[in-house]
Amino acid sequence: MNQFTLLLQATTSPSDWVLFFGHFHPLIVHLPIGFLLVAGILEAGRRLGKVSVSDSAITNVLFWSAVSATVACLFGYLLSLGGGYEQETLDSHMWQGIGVAVFAWIAWAVKSDYVGDRIPFGSALYLPALVVAIVLLGTAGHLGGSLTHGSDYLTQYTPEPFRTLAGIPPRTQEVAIKPITDVNQALVYEQIVNPILKTRCVQCHNAEKSKGDLRFDTAEMLKKGGENGPVFVAGKGTDSELVKRCLLPEEDDHHMPPKGKTQLTEGQIALLTWWIDQGAPFDKKVSELNVNDAIKPVLASLGTGAPAGGAGLAASGPAPVSPVLTMKLPTPDPKAVDELKQTGLLVLPLSKEQNQLEVSAVNAKAFNDAQAAVLPKLSNQIVWLKLGETAITDAALAQIAKLKNLQKLHLEQTKVTDAGLKQLKALPNLEYLNLYGTSITDAGLKELAGLKSLKTVYLWQTNVTEPALAELKKALPDVEFVGGISEQAVAEFTKAGAANAQPDEDKKN
């Protein structure tokens, strides 16, 4: 903090008053635009005989055009003292703006009763002055827009064939960023970092408008930094200005993007931090960097395909979210959803913004193997599947094995057996498996060793034995196996309660 307060004081920045009024320029500037155009329209209408309007009315409009144009010029100058604009465009904009004011004054003067009569050939000057003022208004306004939004803002989305007719080059930059298909293969700077900067920062940090003498439009400029020095320190994400500024409270003057502009999301900040932490490489792919558990879900949300690697890295903060819960999925086919509903299943989206689905057989006890054939039609979207207490057997598991994004699977109180569990190996994202009340034995349990994401398995009221479980626990130390209470255990449970009780129990009156 201290460091950059000092830096800011070192550069000579204009006083608050200057910038306060300066920031009113974009507001005030619209008044002369409106007034002058009205004056022009009235004048034209009057000359064509379409409008009946008195000279004094037009004079009055012209007077206010001239006044507001002058104030706009003054405020515009104050704003320019804040710096950060491309000098050449700024100069033209300024002189043209002053031109508008001057010609507006001339037009008013020759039109008015007091001054007009004392100027020889005054009436001959009127029309040219008004026309020049309006033309300059157009060009100055355009340059002003270019200064604020960038020079290609207006024509950025010109459609063909007008694009070629107007001689605008094809939208090269847009095409250059390839959409991410497989996150692992994505170029970290090109496809992840640069798009964030482009949408959130480049508007004010580009060739024409480089606030703080900082440009994010090319990799070279980003490396160079701005007037306060470099924006990132490779390997130190949270110490880098680029990230620090985003994390400051929005009310803070140094917060970026400035208050009122679209802010970076938590995920975008996390991605920038992660990229800098990894040394801010400009030519590496996601798969070449360390993907820790914290960044995994954020990366997964960028495209299809879960990011691999980094499983062993310690994650700080909250427990990692399964990538299948954050990845973008295609909209489910409404016909398939209807087919599922017709079998009595409930189909519920996980949330308003997601296409992930939970499918529940809570009221479909008769749901059977034949009906399970419908499930793979939504193989992308089904992440939670509740088939407890239904009529399914091992045959249905062959269909379930096709649900590659499945994270939670309820098979409790069904007729599934060891043989069926073999098929579940194909589920790379399965974390929760409920098998309580099934006839699973030790043999079936061993099949689970192949499930890489597995976190919790429920085995109450199955035929699994303690020794087999102990062995598997060694092989899968991160998996929690939840048993349950047996008749003997209950006896012990209630006894322990009594033993803990006070000796003077029930001495009530």
Partner 1 sequence: MDIQDEIHDQLSRRTFLGQSSAGLGTIALASLLNPKNLFAGASAPGEMPELGKPHFAPKVKRVIYLFQSGAPSQLELFDYKPKLESMWGKDLPESVRKGQRLTGMTAGQSHFPLAASRYKFAQYGPSRMWISELLPYTSRIVNDLTFIRSMHTEAINHDPAVTFFQTGSQQAGRPSFGSWISYGLGSDNQNLPAFVVLLSKGRDGDQPLYAKLWSNGFLPSVHQGVVFRSGPDPVYYLNNPPGIDKASRRRMLDYLAKMHQEQYKHVLDPEINNRMAQYEMAYRMQTSVPETLDISKEPDYIFDMYGPESRKPGTFAANCLLARKLIEKDVKFVQLYHQGWDQHGNLPNDIKIQTKSVDQPSAALILDLKQRGLLDDTLVIWGGEFGRTNYSQGKLTKDNYGRDHHPRCFSIWMAGAGIKKGMVYGETDEFGYNIAKDPVHVHDFQATVLHLLGMDHEKLTFKHQGRRYRLTDVHGKVVKPLLA
Q: How far is the CB of 487 from partner 1 (least distance, A)?
A: 4
Q: Cα separation of 135 and 283, whole Å?
A: 48
Cα 356 to chain center, whole Å? Answer: 19
Q: How far is the CB of 501 from partner 1 (least distance, A)?
A: 6
The residue type found at 474 is: K
CA 368-374-376 angle, to 5 degrees, is: 115
DSSP-H helix ranges across 278-393: 296-300, 323-326, 334-342, 369-372
Contacting range for partner 1; rule: CB under 8 A; set: 2-10, 233-241, 263-271, 320-328: 320-328
The residue type found at 157 is: Y
Q: Is 131 exposed, middle or buried, given 0-12, 13-18 or 19+ CB atoms closer than 10 A?
A: middle
Tokens of 152: 């290609």
DSSP string of 244-272, one letter each residue: HHHHS-TTSTT-SSPTTSPPPPHHHHHHH
* Among residues 219, 350, 373, 398, the one that binds partner 1 under rule CB under 8 A: 350
Find all residues with CB under 8 Å of 9, minimum gap 6, and list them.
none
Could you tell me how many residues of this chain bind partner 1 (CB under 8 A)?
49
Phi, psi of 85, rounded to the nearest 5 degrees: -115, 150
Q: Is 217 in the site for partner 1 (CB under 8 A)?
A: no
Nearer to partner 1, 245 or 410 (CB): 410
What x/- string results for residues 448 through 467 when contact with partner 1 is judged by CB under 8 A? Answer: --------x-x-x-------
Nearer to partner 1, 79 or 392 (CB): 392
Residues in the chain: 509
Contacting range for partner 1; rule: CB under 8 A; set: 20-28, 120-128, 212-220, 344-352: 344-352
Q: How far is the CB of 130 from partner 1 (least distance, A)?
A: 45
Which long-range contacts does 471-479 make (Cβ < 8 Å, 24+ apart)?
472/445, 472/446, 472/448, 475/449, 476/448, 476/449, 479/448, 479/454, 479/455
Q: Is 319 in the site for partner 1 (CB under 8 A)?
A: yes
* Among residues 13, 218, 363, 465, the one that binds partner 1 under rule CB under 8 A: 363
CA 166-171-177 angle, to 5 degrees, is: 175
Interacting positions 367-426 with partner 1 (CB under 8 A): 408, 410, 412
Q: Is 360 in the site for partner 1 (CB under 8 A)?
A: yes
Q: What sign does the CA torsion over 334, 340, 342, 348 have?
A: negative
* Among residues 4, 21, 77, 432, the one that binds partner 1 under rule CB under 8 A: 432
Interacting positions 34-73 with partner 1 (CB under 8 A): none
Q: How far is the CB of 263 from partner 1 (least distance, A)?
A: 17
Q: Is 335 in the site for partner 1 (CB under 8 A)?
A: no
* Among residues 15, 52, 172, 502, the one that binds partner 1 under rule CB under 8 A: 502
* Among residues 119, 176, 370, 491, the one that binds partner 1 under rule CB under 8 A: 491
Q: Is 356 in the site for partner 1 (CB under 8 A)?
A: yes
- Residues pairing with 205 in the sheet: 210
Q: Is 436 in the site for partner 1 (CB under 8 A)?
A: yes
Burial 85-99 (b: 16+ CB within 10 A, else e): bbeebbeebbebbbb
Q: Is 505 in the site for partner 1 (CB under 8 A)?
A: yes
Q: How far is the CB of 355 from partner 1 (least distance, A)?
A: 11
Contacting range for partner 1; rule: CB under 8 A; set: 18-26, 85-93, 155-163, 482-490: 482-490
Nearer to partner 1, 240 or 438 (CB): 438
Nearer to partner 1, 89 or 360 (CB): 360
Q: Is 221 exposed, middle or buried, given 0-12, 13-18 or 19+ CB atoms closer than 10 A?
A: middle
- The H or E element containing residue 386 is strand 382-386
Find all residues with CB under 8 Å of 305, minimum gap 6, and list them.
181, 182, 183, 184, 327
Q: Is 484 in the site for partner 1 (CB under 8 A)?
A: yes
* Among residues 354, 368, 417, 463, the one that binds partner 1 under rule CB under 8 A: 354
Residues of this chain that bind partner 1 (CB under 8 A): 318-319, 321, 325-326, 334, 338, 346, 348-354, 356, 360, 362-363, 408, 410, 412, 432, 434, 436, 456, 458, 460, 482-487, 490-491, 493-494, 496-502, 505, 507-509
